[in-house]
Structure 1
Amino acid sequence: MLSRKPFGPSVSSLSVLPLLALLLVSFLASPLLAADPVPVAEADSGDTAWILVSTALVLFMTIPALALFYGGLVRTKNVLSVLMHCFAMTALISVLWVVFGYSVAFSDGNAFFGGLSKVLLGGGARDAIYPDTKIPETLFCAFQMTFAIITPALVIGAFVERMKFLAVMLFSALWLIVVYLPICHMTWGGGWFSELGVMDFAGGIVVHITAGVAALVACIMVGKRKGYPDTQMIPHNLTYTVIGSAMLWVGWFGFN
């Protein structure tokens, strides 16, 4: 009598399937087929240390170097106001830069302005390495902040002794937003000038041209000092000016 074979695979063959699946998974997960690991960007200790020093040097150029330089040139009654202009401007620009200035200057946007993805150092900026560098993005933000501080501070010399404290602060904040941030983005942030191949290694465009033009326009609009040239206007202390100049000289090693 002929026996019938059961329909389908036998029980013994079914028991082999889990083993085959395990072998297949092990083979696919083997190092031979694994993708190359993506390198994780890490900060370089040497680069980070030097940019930290440079950040301190450029900040040193505003307070106290520029404050002393201008303070020594004005009349005695205006020395304290000039010093406070530099100190207060440093505080004001620092806050504006972290809140939105850095994002407008160095985040993705159009040819003239960046976006708002890095407002308050959001968008992963706090933990990121800045592209094409080996330094933390927070440090890059701080380094660029010192340039944003000193640029409007340079303009003070054009209208020193002729503007009230509040007017100086308002002018500096508006000038940062309307002039500095767009030019910074266009030149250093991948905007229009950068696309044209413009390279500004030491702030010739972003800092010096913008500050120089602003100073010229400001002094023309404000006008000459009352009593000039009939009234003698003796500088308060030229020693302060020389000391400030020497400090600026030292600060250039971080600026450049």
Structure 2
Amino acid sequence: MRKVLAAIGGCLHASVPAVALAQEGQIDVADSGDTAWILISSALVLMMIMPGLSLFYGGLVRAKNFLSVLVQVGAVAAVASLLWIVVGYTLAFGTVTNGWLGAGNAWMLIDLGNVREGLLVPESTFALFQMTFAAITPALMVGAWVDRARFGWVVGFCALWSLVVYAPVAHWVWGGGW
């Protein structure tokens, strides 16, 4: 009889923490410290693109091509940022539908939530942070064809690459796809 009572008591004792830990869902509120850190990090990445990469790649070429490299890096970063705002964010971080791409629920960053699920930063801040990496990735490729490609081809290729390669891979890795 003691063994039976001990077993019942052990089961009751083991089930008590589950009741104590059952709580209402928390309401996500943006944390000002996290938001400030994400914004500072975004500014640092943007500074790494324009003066950093531009001057680095400009130093690798002859003096006559210096301005061309500055314009290429700036244009590629601008086009990638614009594409990210228009369609890239929703393709990478939209609602997961089929695993390949996000749903089109945030075209032009229109239907963003207050706080990104699972984080303590506003979704608009998260979109800005991710945009900086969407912009620096094709800007890094400019160094591969410095002095070798025309301006229009560079910008066109980087725009296409941002939509066809970067957005789906970002969805697969960070956006909950696959």
Same fold (TM over 0.5): yes
Alpha-carbon distance in 1 for matches of 2:114, 2:104: 17
Which aligned pairs between 1:95-244 and structure 2 lie closer than 5 A? 95-108=82-95, 109-123=97-111, 125=112, 127-192=113-178
Please tell me the residue identity of whatever aligns with 2:153.
Answer: A
Alpha-carbon distance in 1 for matches of 2:57, 2:98: 38
Could you give the per-residue CA deviations for residues 13-35 of structure 1, whole angstroms, max 9, x where no partner exists? Answer: xxxxxxxxxxxxxxxxxxxxxxx
Partner of residue 49 from structure 1, selected from 36, 41, 60? 36
Question: Between Structure 1 and Structure 2, how many residues are aligned?
Answer: 155
Which 5+ residue runs of structure 1 have no aligned equivalent? 1-35, 193-256
Instruction: Provide the secondary structure at the position in 2 that maps to 1:59.
Output: helix
Cα distance, 1:45 vs structure 2: 0.7
Structure 1 residue runs of 4+, over 6 Å off? none
Cα distance, 1:89 vs structure 2: 1.5
Cα distance, 1:90 vs structure 2: 1.9
Alpha-carbon distance in 2 for matches of 1:88, 1:177: 16
Q: Is it true that 1:63 corresponds to 2:63 in the alignment?
A: no
More helix by share: 2
Alpha-carbon distance in 2 for matches of 1:143, 1:168: 24
Q: Is the 8 A contact 2:77 2:138 kept in 1?
A: no
Cα distance, 1:146 vs structure 2: 0.4
Which aligned pairs between 1:20-59 and structure 2 lie closer than 5 A? 39-59=26-46
Q: Is it true that 1:80 corresponds to 2:67 in the alignment?
A: yes
Instruction: Provide the secondary structure at the position in 1 that maps to 2:117.
Output: coil
Cα distance, 1:39 vs structure 2: 4.4
Q: Is the 8 A contact 2:35 2:121 kept in 1?
A: yes
Which 5+ residue runs of structure 2 have no aligned equivalent? 1-22
Cα distance, 1:95 vs structure 2: 1.1
Q: Is the 8 A contact 2:72 2:151 kept in 1?
A: yes
Alpha-carbon distance in 2 for matches of 1:85, 1:171: 12
Structure 2-normalised TM-score?
0.83
Cα distance, 1:120 vs structure 2: 1.1
Alpha-carbon distance in 1 for matches of 2:101, 2:131: 17
Instruction: Provide the secondary structure at the position in 2 that maps to 1:116.
Output: coil
Alpha-carbon distance in 2 for matches of 1:158, 1:48: 35
From the CA coordinates, give the structure whose radius of gyration is larger. 1
Alpha-carbon distance in 2 for matches of 1:57, 1:149: 13
Q: Is the 8 A contact 2:80 2:138 kept in 1?
A: no
Instruction: Provide the secondary structure at the position in 2 that maps to 1:149.
Output: helix
Q: Is the 8 A contact 2:30 2:120 kept in 1?
A: yes
